[in-house]
Structure 1
Amino acid sequence: MTIKVPATSANLGPGFDTLGLALSLKNRSIIKPSRITSIQVRGEGSKNPKLCVDNIFVKIFYEHFYRLTNSKEQFRFQFENEIPISRGLGSSSAVIVGAIGSAYMIAKQPFTHSEILALALKYEPHPDNITPACVGGFTTALTQKDKVRFLKTNIPDSLRAVVVVPDHAISTAYSRLSLPKKYTQKEVIFNLSRSSMLTAAFFSHRWEALREASKDKLHQNIRMRGFPILFDVQQTAFKEGALMSTLSGSGSSFFNMCYKDDVKRLSKKLSSKFPHFKIFELSFDDRGLEKITD
């Protein structure tokens, strides 16, 4: 069986731990019966030998496969990874969602997206990345009594993402430690208004609202100060026609959305100005977790 899970960009400025969307970068996992467990990694992470010994996907997969089947069957895992690791593009969420989903598929057990997301919360307590990884599109999500409640809308083909990926990892856990423990009422209201407007803009296709609606006062600038060249990335993106430009998750990647007609110009300018960073021209993924059929 082969399954794929998309990369995600979360927070999107003001939607801290609640908003996210799915991108066309994918991790593919090929799983076959075997006498012993074996692991092969291609693409992102292939140079990290630990992933072939202490692999989180494999651990989560077996946990749920054994729970569902009461079987001790072994498998061979081949991972073909496109999602950069520890760059704020949802690599961990892709692993979690992919492992749980594939366990259900190989066990031939029915499941719903809501069931997968509820189980994923055990490993990732925030729904902003796991939700679009599971269902695709743009999502707004919350947790309620160990469940994820979400709304989703597809993203039209007239839009594209240009994602800037620095060669500089940022730990989400470490990044959170730099954030304030308290915020002013004015800051909270600022983010509530922008997050609400951003969500409305995606659902109503009012793209002209995104630039103002994607502003944030809770986390983004604080995180970017640890890697200040990201301010220049954002300024350049807006100058070249980006509809919105936000830190992707906790970083270090930067997510930029633009119209399809502007993607080449924006990508070329960012590549020229930041030659040491990877630049991805991406469409959006509206399917999420998916089994690939031959």
Structure 2
Amino acid sequence: MSEPRALKIQVPATSANVGVGFDCLGLALDMMATFTFVPSTDGQLHIEGCESRFCGADNLVWTSYCHTCSELGIIEELLNITIDSPIPLAGGLGSSSACIVAGIAAAYALSGLSLDRERIIQMASSLEGHPDNVAPAVLGGLVCSFSNAGRVWTQRFDVAEELRFVAIVPPYEVRTAEARRVLPAEVPMATAVWQTGRCVAMVRALETGDAELLAACAHDKLHEPYRARLIPDYEALRSAALSSGASAFVISGSGATMLAICKNEQKAAGVRRMLATMESVSAAEGARRGLRIETLQACKTGLKILAG
């Protein structure tokens, strides 16, 4: 008897907002989650590679796959799903979006249908509740997205190859619900004007790698001043990153992950050295931060089917 066919799908981590692009900008990063799908041979659903609490029928990859099968009018099949993901849970790097996109893509691939990236974004946005993470997960690069009359519209931009994004993941979470709750219900007109100009400038700065423009435009007033209060290390890390060579420092999604945006690899290395020094001092004082620090690039490709 031949072995059941295996399907491998890769989905990148994503960073929503990129500071001033609240709920409209999202960036794909080259931290890749790999999902393997094999038809079950024993009539049971099997999920491996994640915490036991996520290994049941409510797993987000599985429920997204089932939802898509229903939408496409195809019969779902029980699967062995293996998740190999370095994306931190609830950390602001799009772990749920990666799972949703992988499940939807699996339904397409296992049924022999060609990937329809626009429709995948529509379905993923419906399941996630917003497109800012799922759109770059599917398309790669920097994506501006918005919804109008029931349709998600996207504009994709390339990101300058020399830019580096130092992801700083603290050993605690910021719950998305809490990060939403601390935001004001209304903002002054002056704040809206401030934000609009800087959001457009951020797109251009990331496209061109213009470090001076990055430094000038990456000053958010809509959400970061409020969400920063939920991240105990924010001010110290921001000060250290900017003083050691980062052009900009932003909260990734709703946090707690933060991104130091650097002009090139050399600048990123300087930021990492400074953060490592902070970690060392903290440990010497008996209070290790437990920071996870990753130097990343923009991911050009987004969702990829590796086999199947």
In structure 2, the residue matched to 1:261 is 266
Residue pairs, 1:206-285, within 5 angstroms: 206-258=210-262, 259-274=264-279, 275-285=289-299
2:169·2:257 contact (CA, 8 Å) conserved in 1? yes
SS in structure 2 at match of 1:63? helix
TM-score by length of 2: 0.89
Residue pairs, 1:108-127, within 5 angstroms: 108-127=112-131
**Percent identity (aligned):** 29
Partners in 2 of 1:30 and 1:128 — Cα distance? 25
In structure 2, the residue matched to 1:19 is 25
- The Cα offsets for residues 90-126 of structure 1, whole Å up to 9 and x where unpaired, read as 1111111111112111111123221111111211222
In structure 1, the residue matched to 2:54 is 51
Greater radius of gyration (CA)? 2
2:160·2:208 contact (CA, 8 Å) conserved in 1? no
In structure 1, the residue matched to 2:284 is none
Q: How far 1:67 sits from its partner (Å)?
A: 4.1
2:160·2:206 contact (CA, 8 Å) conserved in 1? no
1:3·1:28 contact (CA, 8 Å) conserved in 2? yes
Partners in 2 of 1:170 and 1:160 — Cα distance? 24
Identify which of 169, 175, 185 aligns with 1:171. Answer: 175
Partners in 2 of 1:229 and 1:70 — Cα distance? 48
In structure 2, the residue matched to 1:9 is 15
Q: Does 1:291 align with 2:305?
A: yes
SS in structure 2 at match of 1:25? strand
In structure 1, the residue matched to 2:3 is none
CA root-mean-square deviation: 1.6
In structure 1, the residue matched to 2:88 is 84
2:160·2:207 contact (CA, 8 Å) conserved in 1? no
- The Cα offsets for residues 71-94 of structure 1, whole Å up to 9 and x where unpaired, read as 242211111111000010011111
Which 10-residue stretch deviates more, 232-241 or 57-66? 57-66
The one-letter amino acid of 2:35's match is S
In structure 2, the residue matched to 1:141 is 145
Partners in 2 of 1:293 and 1:105 — Cα distance? 9
Partners in 1 of 2:205 and 2:269 — Cα distance? 24
The one-letter amino acid of 1:25's match is M
In structure 2, the residue matched to 1:182 is 186
Identify which of 61, 64, 67 aligns with 1:63. Answer: 67
In structure 1, the residue matched to 2:101 is 97
The one-letter amino acid of 2:302's match is G
Equivalenced residues, count: 290
In structure 1, the residue matched to 2:286 is none
Partners in 2 of 1:263 and 1:174 — Cα distance? 31
Partners in 2 of 1:148 and 1:231 — Cα distance? 35
- Summarize the Cα distance change of 1:22–1:252 in structure 2 as closer, same or farther, 3 Å threshold: same
SS in structure 2 at match of 1:225? helix
Partners in 1 of 2:196 and 2:24 — Cα distance? 11
Q: How far 1:20 sits from its partner (Å)?
A: 1.2
Which 10-residue stretch deviates more, 261-270 or 249-258? 261-270
Structure 1 alignment gaps of length 5 or more: none
- Summarize the Cα distance change of 1:244–1:39 in structure 2 as closer, same or farther, 3 Å threshold: farther
- The Cα offsets for residues 23-74 of structure 1, whole Å up to 9 and x where unpaired, read as 11111110011132333433xxx3x211111311101102212443532422
SS in structure 1 at match of 2:104? helix
Which 10-residue stretch deviates more, 187-196 or 246-255? 187-196
In structure 2, the residue matched to 1:32 is 38
- The Cα offsets for residues 178-221 of structure 1, whole Å up to 9 and x where unpaired, read as 11111111111111111111112223443320112111111101
1:15·1:195 contact (CA, 8 Å) conserved in 2? yes
Structure 2 alignment gaps of length 5 or more: 1-6, 280-288
1:69·1:107 contact (CA, 8 Å) conserved in 2? no
Partners in 1 of 2:304 and 2:113 — Cα distance? 15
